[in-house]
Amino acid sequence: MKFSTTWLKDHLETDATLSQITDCLTAIGHEVEGVEDPAERLAGFTVAKVLTAEKHPDADKLQVLTVDTGEGDPLQVVCGAPNARAGMMGVLGQPGAVVPSNGMELRKSAIRGVESNGMMCSVRELELGEDHDGIIELPDDAPVGHSFADYHGSSPIIDVAITPNRPDCMGVYGIARDLAAAGLGTLKPIAFPKFDAVGDCPVEIRTDDPEGCPAFYGRVVKGVKNGPSPDWLQQRLQSAGQRPISLLVDLTNYLMLAFGRPAHVYDLSKLSGAVVARRAKPGERVLALNEKTYSLDESMVVIADDHEVHDIAGIMGGENSGVSDGTTDLLLEIAYFDPPRIGVTGRKLGLASDARTRFERGVDPAFLEEGLDLLTGLIVELAGGSATEIIRAGAAPSDAKVVAFNTALTAKLGGITVPDDEQRGILEKLDFTVGDDWQVRCPLRRHDIEGPADLVEEIVRIHGLDKVESVPLPRAEGVARPTATPAQMLERKLRRAAAASGLNEAITWSFLPEAEAAHFTATDDLWKLANPISEDMKVMRPSLIPGLLTASKRAATRGSASSRLFEIGRRYFRGKDGLSDERAAVGVVLSGEKTPRGWATGKAVPFDAYDAKSAALHLLAAAGAPADKLMVMEPVVDGDGTQFHPGQSATLRLGPKKVLARFGMIHPATLKAFDMDGPVAAVEIFLDAIPQKKGGKGPIGFARPGFSPPALQSVTRDFAFLVPADLAAADLVRAVKGADKANITEARVFDVFAGQGVPEGKKSVALEVTLQPQDRSYKDADLKAISDAIVASATKQGAELRG
C-alpha cells in the first residue's frame, strides 16, 4: 500500500522525519518495501513566466517563447503547445533536467534553426496526470523561479506491505493509528464535514441475502456537479498509485484508501425501482467497470434493481449505472459483506480489485454509518447538492470478542519483559478496552485477534520488535551429528549434479490452474484445494513439468534465447482416507537454442530427445540408479504419455514395470496449450521408484567396496553390426556388455548409418567396446575369445557383423 507523508500527516500529528517514520513502521511489523521522493524526479523544473510568444519562422505549429526564470536574463524556448501564450505561468525544464515520463535529459539545442534552452512541460511529461494537450498552466500568483517540486508540494511516498491479517491497516488512518500507538505522534480525530440531511431517501434499499450481505446502507444526494477533483485529492490518489477519474469516483477511492472502507456511487437516473443486495440468478450477466462481462451463479452476491444487476457485491461496480460528468443525482451505497463469500466469488470470476482485497479480509463493521456520513459530507462540500436521510437495511456484526489475558504471557511467548502498565497502555491506544481483571474487549475491526497470543503480538510489535533480543538456540558440546535424512542427502547430491551439468534451478508453485494440471494426468482425480489462493492455484501439481514450462515461457518472453531449467520437488495425488500422496521427483525442461548460430555451426541448434535422454541418465546415475542397466521403452506411464511426442520420447525402466524416468520432446499439442513455441525437451525422474538400500538408508550404491583403479591399461575394439532398423541401439549395447561382464567395462555407440550399401530394412550400428585386463595383459587368443562372445551375443539380437 502506498501513501505520501503529506497524507499520513493529515491523520497523524508528528514532527518525525521520513527516516524515523520508516524505521518505526518496520519496528511495529509493517515492512517498508520502498520509499520514493517525487521531488527528486522534479529536480531542475522551475516555475516560469512566458513573457512573449512569437511564431516560429520555419514551422507553422511551433512558437518561440521568451521565458522569465527569475534568475538573470530571460531564456528562449521553442514550444509546440497550442495553449502557450504571453503572460501565462508554467513549468520550465532547464538543460540538465530529466523528463520523468521518458527519461530524456534536456539540453540546449536548435529546433528548426532556432535555439531552445529547455522545455515547457505538460502534466503527462511530469507524470502528474494524463493531460498532454498543452503545457501546465499555473495560477498568476505562482512564484517565478521557485522550485516546482516545492511549489507543487510533492512529498515522499512510502510503500508498505500489509500482511493479510491486518485489514485494519489497509487505509492511511490505520497506519497512523499504529504509529501513534508506538509513540511517533498523536492520532488526529476524523474531520467530518457538516451537512444537513433533508427528507427520506426516495429509493427503496434492502438486503434479501442477510448471510452474504448482513448490512446495506444508502442515501440519495441530488443536485451535485461532477468534474475534476481538487489538487489535494488528486495528489493523494496519485501517491497511492491511483489515476484520478472524476470527483465523485475519486471521493469513493479516497474513502477506501484513507479509511479502508470501500463504497460505491450510482447514477440515480440509471436505476429502476428498488436497489437490492441478493444472490445472483444462474446465467445472469453483468458488464463491470473494467469493460468485461461476467457470468454469475447463485453463490454470488450482487446489487441489482428491478431491471438488471449493477454490481458484483464487494468486488466491482457495473458500467451501466456508473456516474459520469453529466451525473446530477446519485445514490451512495455502503455495505458489509461476508468475507469468505467475497473471496470465493473473486476466485470464481478471476477478478481482483482493491475493494475485494479489503472485503475478503474483513472491513470494519462499525464504520458503516460514519463512513457514509464522511463520504456524503465530502460530496456536498466539493460537488454541492443536498443529501437525504440514511436508509438502513440489516445490521453489521456488533458482538465484540472478549479475550482473557495474562500479562505474564508477554515474557513467556514474546521473549521480552514489558511492564503491566505499558501493556495496558498499548492495548488502549489500539482501541482495545482493558478491564481491571484483564478481560480485553477487541475492536470490531480486529478480525485477526483470536486469543491471548494475538494480544502478545500486539504488545510486542508496538513496544518494538527490534527490542526483542536475538538468542541462539542451545547447542550440545562436540561435533554435531548429521541431521539430514537420506532423502535430503539425495536431493542435495542431485541438485549439485544438475547444476554442474549446466542446468539452472527453478522453484515453481506447487499449485497449478486446473486445465494445466489436467493436461498432465491420466485421471480426473486431481488433488483440488477447498480454498485456493486463486483460480490459477487451484490444483496440487501432478507433475513438475508444467511449472517448468511456464517458467521457460516466461524467460523466453523476456528475451532469453535458451532455458535449461530443473526442479526437485513433490508431485501430489489423492491418497487413501483423503490424505495427500506426495512423491519426490526431478523435472527438467530444455527449450530454445542448445547451440547459438555461428560461423562454425551455421544455424542455431535446438535441443532434441537425445539431450533429454542424456540429462535423464546423468541424473539417474547421480541418484545411485544403475543407469547402464536401464531399459528404454515406450513413454506411457500409468496409461498416460500424451504430453510427449510419441515418436521422440521414451521411458527408462528397471525391468518392464519399474519406471524410473520418462524423457523426450514435448508434444506440439501440449506446447500449444501452454502457448509455447517448440521444440522443447523434458525429463521427469521419479525418485520414489529408485531402489533403496536395505534398512531405508538411501538409494542402492553400485560401486564396489574398496575399489581402486586397475593397474593395467584398458583396450578398445570397434565392432560394426547390421541390425534390423527397428532395433533400439540400447538393446544392442546391453547385449554386447553382457557378453563378458568380467572383461567388458564399457560399450558405446559412435556411428549409426542407413543408406547406400546397407540392405533395405537394416541399419549399421558401430560400437566402441572397452576391455579391461585384470591380472595380466591380453593375448591374441584372449581377445579373439572375447570378440567371438560379443558377436554371438549380438547375433541373438538379430545383429550381423559387417565385413
Fold matches, 2-37+156-187 and 402-462: yes
Q: How far is CA 803 from CA 153, 721, 722, in A?
A: 92, 9, 10
What are the backbone dihedrals phi and psi of residue 724, each rounded to the nearest 5 degrees, phi first? -55, 145
Predicted confidence (pLDDT) per residue in 227-249, tens digit: 999 989 988 998 898 889 999 99
Terminal-to-terminal C-alpha distance of the chain? 79
Which residue pairs, CB below 8 angstroms and at least 24 apart, start in 288-296? 288/312, 288/316, 288/317, 288/318, 288/319, 288/351, 289/316, 289/317, 289/318, 289/319, 289/322, 290/316, 291/319, 294/349, 294/351
**Of the candidates 680, 640, 631, 681, the residue with the CA atom closest to the CA atom of residue 660:** 631
**Among 107-116, 357-366, 651-660, 696-705, which is the least confidently predicted range?**
696-705
221, 402 contact by CB (below 8 A):
no
Residues 6+ apart with CB under 8 A from 294: 285, 286, 288, 312, 349, 351
Predicted confidence (pLDDT) per residue in 25-39, tens digit: 999 999 999 998 877
Q: How far is CA 121 from CA 44, 97, 225, 477, 705, in A?
A: 12, 11, 30, 70, 79
* pLDDT of 630 above 90: no
- Average confidence (pLDDT) over 715-735: 90
Displacement of CA 624 from its chain's centroid (Å): 37
Torsion of CA 640, 645, 649, 655, to 10 degrees: 20
What pLDDT score was predicted for residue 356? 94
Strands 45-55 and 316-317: unpaired
Phi-psi region of 649 (alpha: psi -120 to 50; beta: other; left: phi over 0): beta
What pLDDT score was predicted for residue 32? 93
Displacement of CA 302 from its chain's centroid (Å): 28
Predicted confidence (pLDDT) per residue in 726-739, tens digit: 888 888 998 999 99
- Mean of all residue pLDDT scores within the chain: 90
Q: How far is CA 508 from CA 492, 565, 670, in A?
A: 18, 11, 19
Displacement of CA 481 from its chain's centroid (Å): 39
Predicted confidence (pLDDT) per residue in 336-388, tens digit: 999 999 999 998 998 999 999 999 999 999 999 999 999 999 999 999 999 99
- pLDDT category, 707, cuts 50, 70, 90? low
What pLDDT score was predicted for residue 700? 55
Q: How many CB atoms lie within 10 A of CB 375?
A: 27
Take residue 727 and report the three cell numbers written for it. 532395433
| pLDDT over 70, % of the chain | 97
Q: Is 209 annotated as a binding residue?
A: no
What pLDDT score was predicted for residue 441? 96
- In whole angstroms, give the CA distance from residue 788 to residue 783: 9
* pLDDT of 112 above 80: yes
Q: Per-domain residue ranges for the chain?
A: 2-37+156-187, 40-152, 205-394, 402-462, 486-689, 715-801
What CATH code would you report for 402-462? 3.30.56.10
Task: For domain 715-801, give the CATH superfamily.
Answer: Ferrodoxin-fold anticodon-binding domain (3.30.70.380)
3-state class (DSSP) for residue 266: strand
Question: Could you tell me which CATH class the domain 205-394 is placed in?
Answer: alpha beta
Q: Is 448 annotated as a binding residue?
A: yes
Residues 6+ apart with CB under 8 A from 181: 28, 426, 429, 430, 462
| pLDDT over 90, % of the chain | 69
2-37+156-187 topology per CATH: Phenylalanyl-tRNA Synthetase; Chain B, domain 1 (3.30.56)
- Average confidence (pLDDT) over 293-306: 94
Take residue 30 and report the three cell numbers written for it. 509493517
* pLDDT of 548 above 90: yes
- pLDDT category, 179, cuts 50, 70, 90? very high
What pLDDT score was predicted for residue 698? 54
**Among 147-161, 189-203, 497-511, 513-527, which is the least confidently predicted range?**
513-527
**Among 429-443, 575-589, 635-649, 752-766, which is the least confidently predicted range?**
635-649
* pLDDT of 407 above 60: yes
Displacement of CA 255 from its chain's centroid (Å): 27
- Average confidence (pLDDT) over 574-597: 87
**733: enclosing H helix or E strand:** helix 729-737
750, 786 contact by CB (below 8 A):
no
Supply the DSSP symbol for 465. Answer: G
91, 46 contact by CB (below 8 A):
yes
The second-level CATH assignment, the architecture, of 40-152 is Beta Barrel (2.40)
- pLDDT category, 103, cuts 50, 70, 90? confident
Angle at 535 between CA 531 and CA 537, to 5 degrees: 75
Take residue 364 and report the three cell numbers written for it. 470494519
* pLDDT of 614 above 90: yes
Q: Is 454 annotated as a binding residue?
A: yes
* pLDDT of 703 above 70: no
What pLDDT score was predicted for residue 686? 94
For the entire predicted model, the pTM comes to 0.66
Q: Is 457 annotated as a binding residue?
A: yes
Question: Could you tell me which CATH class the domain 486-689 is placed in?
Answer: alpha beta
**Of residues 468 and 257, which shows the higher confidence score?**
257
